[in-house]
Structure 1
Amino acid sequence: MTNHIPGKNDFWFLPLGGSGEIGMNLNLYGHDGQWLMVDLGVTFGDRLGVDVITPDPEFIVQNKDRLVGLVLTHAHEDHVGAIPYLWPMLRCPIYATKFTAEIVRQKVKEFPWGKDVKIIEVPLSGELKVGKFLVEYITLTHSIPEPNALAIATSLGTVMHTGDWKIDPAPMVGEVTDSERLKDWGEQGILALVCDSTNVFNKGVAGSEETVRTEIFAQVAAQKGKRVIVACFASNLARVETAILAAQACGRKVCLVGRSLHKMVDAAQKSGYLKDIPPFIDEETAMKLPPDDVLILSTGSQGEPRAALARMASDSHPFIKLDHRDVVFFSSRVIPGNERSINLLQNNLVRKGVHIITSHDDEGIHVSGHPARDELMQMYEWVKPQVLIPVHGELRHMTEQAELGLSCGIPKAVIPENGSLIRLDIENPAIMDYVPTGRLGYDGSRMVPLFGPMMGERAKLATNGAVFVSVVLDRSGDLECEPRLSLIGITVGGEEQEHLERDIVRAVRNCIHNGYRDLETLKEEIRVHIRRVTNNWIGKKAPTEIHIIQV
């Protein structure tokens, strides 16, 4: 299939990110010559100078004249974080509820083109017409304010796109799940449910922020004579509010530490949340007060090396210094892939005498924001889809959800992966074709292919080191002077280092003395011989760059 333009009788789903992985969500719906994008997120990593990773949007960039808009389900980074990096390639209007819109404004204003972004605010439970698509926002609960399912209606049927969600009867901040509207749509008829798979292996339900509030109140009250540090995701405003109220109940003043926390609280207050909280104290003031008069809310629960908590643990924070009088609550889960950084952080804290409490020590201080099995089954019962399309998970999560849905009576399921073009059809839903996908990394001030030649070269340099050799030849083609060497990341130590460099120089001399046809041939001959030398010495063929000058 070469024509990826949906016709009047086509309704397609195409994920470019977030299917087969957790994070980096980018979903497309196609109908009647148009594409609608749902979410545009990032994932994070520490890959050779690239710490922000996005889906490669090349497919929709090539079709951007058919892109009618970007509709956002909620404000988590894996759903909105790529907007500052990819929007200039797309230049489409963005639709979001008030809080999510405020977060996006904060992000794009840091870029010179930020003023060009058209952000249209949608009221909670609002409807909008975007091209040929009629979209209704349906309030859900999650671990951030204003999470929404999207009922995306076309002349061929309606898809319920859940975004991230759970069923929390008492979310503490924001509205409860609009189950009645979900049921209404179920009665009207839902063609397909595109659904969060993150916690499909968890039995029961995710749990409520109300129980977390009760436990954190009790834990903070128990820390007599201790300074309390609560580390959580800045976006979990229910958790932030809980920590603030727990401090207030114990007569503690609250200090926010971490840029993202200040930004989130600012966005929340502009959007009507966190209205009745006391003023915060600054970091310098916090350290002058007795320990049991202070509660510090901090970023960095995932061990991010530049986050506030890691700086405290390594004594590099300019004001906050921790010791045996401190207790740190990790009110968050361990995101897969962050285990090493979190372990390093916690070991650094323990080394300073800090007492740490995690959800392993006290399950009550954290609940997930994603649906467990009972909640998934409840959603199936409400929505009654004809087709289930699991997303937001690795293949094992999506496969498990497909099996769960089929066992609950959903007639059909299609398991996508990034790039799979899916026909949304009651009779024959299926993957019709695949489009190329990939990942981009934010490198300095530009987006680069994460698995392209440049990153490949960096990987070689990082793992094998490098050799740079400058050779000056006279008019007759002989050495004018001793070759100059620079060995990067290749050290054998002591006298052996001199022997290694001597062997490299000898290899250069031999190549020249053996004769050569032209300078390019000589350059390649020297490169091959030097790689043999490094392989003999260190067991690796180091990338080698040869510069030849003839005078």
Structure 2
Amino acid sequence: MNVNLYGTRGRWVMVDCGVTFADHAYPGIDLVLPDLSFIEDRLEQLEGIVITHGHEDHIGALPYLADDLGVPIYATPFTAGLIRHKLDEERIADRIDLRVIQPGAPFKVGPFGFEFVPLMHSIPESNALIIETAAGRIFHTGDWKLDDAPVIGKPVSAAQMTAIGDRGIDVLVCDSTNVFNVEASGSESDVRTGLGEAIAKARGRVMVTTFASNASRIQTLGEVAKETGRALCVAGRSLDRIIKVARACGYLRDLPELVTADAAMRMPRDKVLIIATGGQGEPRAALARVAEGSHQIRLDEGDTVIFSSKEIPGNEVAIGRIQNILAGRGVLMVTEKQAHVHVSGHPGRPELAKMYSWLRPELLIPVHGEMRHLMEQARYGLSEGIPQAIVQTDGDMIRLAPGKPQKIGNVPVGRLVLDGDVILPADGATINERRRLGVNGQISVAVAVSREGRLAGRPQVRFQGVPVEEERSAFIAEAEDAVEEAARGKSRDRDRLREDIRLAVRRCATRWTGKKPVVDVLVVEV
């Protein structure tokens, strides 16, 4: 999740507002949102939200949080198109002030001056930001790389960047994702050759999975489809959306005419190329559904799947599961380990060194990546002649100017989760209860008692997720006996009765299983 706050003269501006995707630590949750309580307590001081580019980790929280923030959103045309689509889906587009800004056109947000600086990344219109304040000038890179031969967009020139540096950059806030890479990330144009060779060798259907937002890769695959005599088909709603927005903004205009999934299945197997979502193992994406046989597109023995994307850390198991299913069906697979079918959208060390030399900042603040990436870029930047570097962690408040840059405090930060249609604290009561249920199971006890406090009938015990398997009946009988023992001779104190029963049943379950399940007790007076 990317949420950055810059403040000056008592006013604030937000840069990006993204999401991350949940893992097993958040059962039943798909999306994790940033906790914006710090700025929500100061909404009258927030001037606007400026967006660097349209990836989910930079815009994904807007449909859920922008309405409450109630400030204008500034973005370039393509990014604005993606945001507008998301706002439409949530039916709040008419309530959000979305302002489209052309790259290179200066604009004001309260006391801040802004300028979008186009840089290359794996999505169109990725921009760095020049942020002007009375106290100093910041260059906020967003996600970026250098590409001398991009498929979409124009490469940034050394002269352009040097001219920005000549204006005086006080602070460089810079992408650290590939700081350990000793080589530059490479050009999107280079991938075309690798993809062309891999697809030309294939004898059956070819499915290429890539990030839906990578419009340059879609353009590349369209050109390869023409060269190899294959019709082009896309599978995945997010791909359809990206193509629609890209065409509306003047991109992908020469993409071959797309064929439907039904038409693709009727064509000779060696005459179709399919672009699909799901290269990170997402269970509901097109690739997973194709692998499991629940999609109208089918892959057979001898067909090929090309993974034209990097395996994001944490997704190895999910990706491996799908690859194993495909392998079992005789589908051939090609990854970046076997062929040059992907390049990163983030800068390696040579690109970082060029950026440092062009901008000549006084201070480097590494962002994007884990702590090891941030620390390494700080060391690297200092070794390349940047005078100062500060490694920031979530919640750190840093005074950039005037005076010596330093940390001056820490503010509350955290995570929220989207649970169905409800936004909850990531470590609140609901999610913690769900974790306990998932680990230990749950037992329900119903007890009828008279007004005098005596049991009126046999207690009823039911459970879910308690590991007794075929011994269910014996366990229930013993648990019911424990309830009767706990209730015998008790007073009319219903709270004490309920707690004694709960503890007795949990002790019984622990003897049987070693677990401590959640026990709910219902006492009915008859």
Deviations 1:374-432 (CA, angstroms, capped at 9, x unpaired): 11111111111111100111111101100111111111111111110001037411111
User: Is 1:186 paired with 2:186?
Assistant: no
1:296 aligned partner: 274
TM-score (ref. length: structure 1): 0.94
- The secondary structure found in structure 2 opposite 1:340 is helix
2:297 pairs with 320, 345, 356, which one?
Answer: 320
- The secondary structure found in structure 2 opposite 1:172 is coil
Runs of 4+ in 1 over 6 A off after TM superposition: none
Deviations 1:341-375 (CA, angstroms, capped at 9, x unpaired): 0000100111111000001111x110100011111
C-alpha displacement of 1:64: 1.3
Deviations 1:45-65 (CA, angstroms, capped at 9, x unpaired): 242111011111111111111
Q: How does 1:430-445 map to 2 (within 5 A)?
A: 430-445=406-421
1:267 pairs with 213, 238, 245, which one?
Answer: 245
1:177 aligned partner: 156
1:442 maps to amino acid: L
Distance 2:314 2:154 in 1: 32
User: Is 1:351 paired with 2:328?
Assistant: yes
- The secondary structure found in structure 2 opposite 1:171 is coil
Distance 2:346 2:395 in 1: 24
Cα distance 1:451–1:114, how it changes in 2: closer, same or farther (>3 A)? same
Deviations 1:493-520 (CA, angstroms, capped at 9, x unpaired): 22x2222112211111111114246010
User: Is 1:215 paired with 2:191?
Assistant: no
2:446 pairs with 448, 455, 470, which one?
Answer: 470
1:241 pairs with 219, 235, 238, which one?
Answer: 219
- Higher RCO, 1 vs 2 (CA within 8 Å, ≥6 residues apart): 1
Deviations 1:287-337 (CA, angstroms, capped at 9, x unpaired): 0000111000100000100000000000111x1111113100000001111
C-alpha displacement of 1:436: 0.6
Distance 2:276 2:158 in 1: 34
1:55 pairs with 24, 34, 39, which one?
Answer: 34
Distance 1:331 1:390 in 2: 28
1:97 maps to amino acid: T
Are the equivalent residues in 2 in contact too, given 1:140–1:166 (CA < 8 A)? Answer: yes
Deviations 1:183-221 (CA, angstroms, capped at 9, x unpaired): 122112111100111111111201110110111112212
2:505 pairs with 530, 540, 545, which one?
Answer: 530
Q: How does 1:362-511 map to 2 (within 5 A)?
A: 362=339, 364-425=340-401, 427-494=403-470, 496-511=471-486
Root-mean-square deviation (CA, aligned residues, Å) is 1.1
Deviations 1:157-206 (CA, angstroms, capped at 9, x unpaired): 10100000011111111121254332122112111100111111111201
1:283 aligned partner: 261
- Larger displacement relative to structure 2 (391-400 or 498-507): 498-507
1:276 maps to amino acid: D
2:231 aligned partner: 253
- The secondary structure found in structure 2 opposite 1:472 is strand
Are the equivalent residues in 2 in contact too, given 1:255–1:282 (CA < 8 A)? Answer: yes
Distance 2:302 2:267 in 1: 13
Distance 2:394 2:489 in 1: 54
Are the equivalent residues in 1 in contact too, given 2:208–2:307 (CA < 8 A)? Answer: yes
Deviations 1:214-240 (CA, angstroms, capped at 9, x unpaired): 1111221222x3111110001111111
Distance 1:398 1:516 in 2: 62
1:18 aligned partner: none
Deviations 1:429-473 (CA, angstroms, capped at 9, x unpaired): 111100011101111112111111110000000111001101110
1:203 aligned partner: 182
TM-score (ref. length: structure 2): 0.98
1:309 aligned partner: 287
Are the equivalent residues in 2 in contact too, given 1:139–1:178 (CA < 8 A)? Answer: no
Distance 2:80 2:126 in 1: 12
Distance 1:517 1:257 in 2: 64
1:103 maps to amino acid: L
Which consecutive residues of structure 1, in runs of 5 or more, have no partner in the other structure? 1-23
Are the equivalent residues in 2 in contact too, given 1:255–1:294 (CA < 8 A)? Answer: yes
2:51 aligned partner: 72
Are the equivalent residues in 1 in contact too, given 2:453–2:490 (CA < 8 A)? Answer: no
Are the equivalent residues in 2 in contact too, given 1:386–1:426 (CA < 8 A)? Answer: no
User: Is 1:144 paired with 2:141?
Assistant: no
- The secondary structure found in structure 1 opposite 2:220 is helix
Aligned length: 524
Distance 1:202 1:250 in 2: 33
Are the equivalent residues in 2 in contact too, given 1:138–1:181 (CA < 8 A)? Answer: no
